[in-house]
Amino acid sequence: MAVFFGTDGLRGVVGNDLNYDIAFKCGNSLSQLISCGGKVVIGRDTRVTGSYLVSAISSGLTAGGAHVVDIGIAPTACIAYLTKNKGFDYGIVITASHNPKEYNGIKIFSTRGEKLLDKEEGAIERGFIHPLQVPALKVGQYRQDKTYVKDYINFLFNSASCCLSGYKIAIDASNGASFDIAPKLFKKLGAKVIRFSCKNDGNKINDNCGALHPQHLAEKVVKLGCDMGFAFDGDADRLIAVNEKGEIVDGDMVITALAKTFKSHGELAFHGVVGTSQTNMGIENHLAENGIKLYRADVGDKYVAEIMDKNNLSLGGEQSGHVIIKKFLPTGDGILTAVALACACKESKKPLSEFCHVELYPQAHINIEVVDKLRILNSEKLMSAITDAQQELAGLGRVLVRASGTEPKIRIMVESEKLETAECLAKFLASVVVELET
């Protein structure tokens, strides 16, 4: 089990949990896994601490003899694509994804364009202990090359199965890594594009906008008469869509719509799809009615990817908006998913509200900030409370209580046929967590 790495890389508040020294050690340790002279591509989102951490991790890499290509601001999936297709040994993204502006993080991709496994992250952490400094004439070189981003844009364009002319699409880039790429791409595909929160502004990244706050985009979609809206998070690996009625289309519903489309094309491997422990029971029932089996993974898109690999499946993702379309990339890409959804919707000749319609079980979510999330999660009192809540549901719902992989929080989800029941049980569990914390 890695100490610094969580469910989605290494992440924390810059200056506290994450600093120059840790970033340097991470880069230097990674260089020890590469033959001297190997290449690493690195990008970042718009956060103000991005260049600081790029400098630190690049210094660690070059001190260990690795060469670094810095492509500047780019979505996480752009780094995954370039690592896989342009001969890099590793890819690194400096981002804290959906977290607030004071956070930042380090995501690492293998040469296959996949997020590292837990054991690989553990190996990097062990390398923190003994830094490597190669002889002066063998140190790596650092250079900037922003032209690589064009290759990724061309990849996204070529992934589209149709022209999107006739569509009016609103885009909320969360003032993050997709602020420029996403609007330009959809315009190039023929859509009329309206931009919101599409600025290179790290002080406003994820600030009351983007995939975490799609209700604001929903209001604008209705007001402006758009066919659909797409909201991304800070590094654009998540997509939350909005239909023409202003209704939220989350990752579960996107996966369901794409699964049915891919199945009709004969492109859904083994008629299966991967969701997570949070995937709504309504989704599971709907998929089953359409001859599609749902596999559940732990929360975290790298765990979704593991289950996909294990069962040779081609589609999977999370309610939060991470969606993996394996024929294109082995990791989540919000922009790619938006293109696939828009094209599938156009092919159906239905409005998005009909194309992505599923009767969901009501869910209640409560997040509680704590000091020691693992102590609370393993408390006998909390486990007993969870058992009581499950018995109350009597098989007509689900309870999920977990520690956040990226923040000091306990996340509670209760699902039931009745919203009142879900909310009541979620509040009950939350009160137990609060009591254990005080």
What are the residue numbers of the active site?
Answer: 97
Output phi, psi for 193, to 5 deg.
Answer: -115, 135
**In contact, 212 and 96? CB cutoff 8 Å:** no
Question: Is residue 40 a contact partner of residue 29, using CB atoms and an 8 Å limit?
Answer: no
CA angle 338, 79, 279 (to 5 degrees): 45
Q: How far apart are CA 147 and CA 306, in angstroms?
A: 32
Angle made by CA atoms 326, 328, 333, in degrees to the nearest 5:
85
Residues 65 and 138 sit within 8 Å (Cβ to Cβ):
yes
The packing angle between helices 20-31 and 50-63, to 10°, is: 40
| Structure token pair of residue 277 | 């422990």
Q: Which amino acid is at 239?
A: L
**Is there a contact between 432 and 412 (Cβ–Cβ < 8 Å)?**
no
The token pair that represents 23 in the structure block: 């970033």
Beta strands 39-44; 67-73: pairing state = parallel
Give the separation between CA 138 and CA 135, rounded to whole angstroms. 5
- Can you give the length of the chain in residues? 438
What the block records as the tokens of 222 is 């209705």
Element at 262 (helix H, strand E): helix 251-264
* Residues 410 and 376 sit within 8 Å (Cβ to Cβ): yes
Cα-flanking dihedrals φ and ψ of residue 103, to 5°?
A: -85, 155
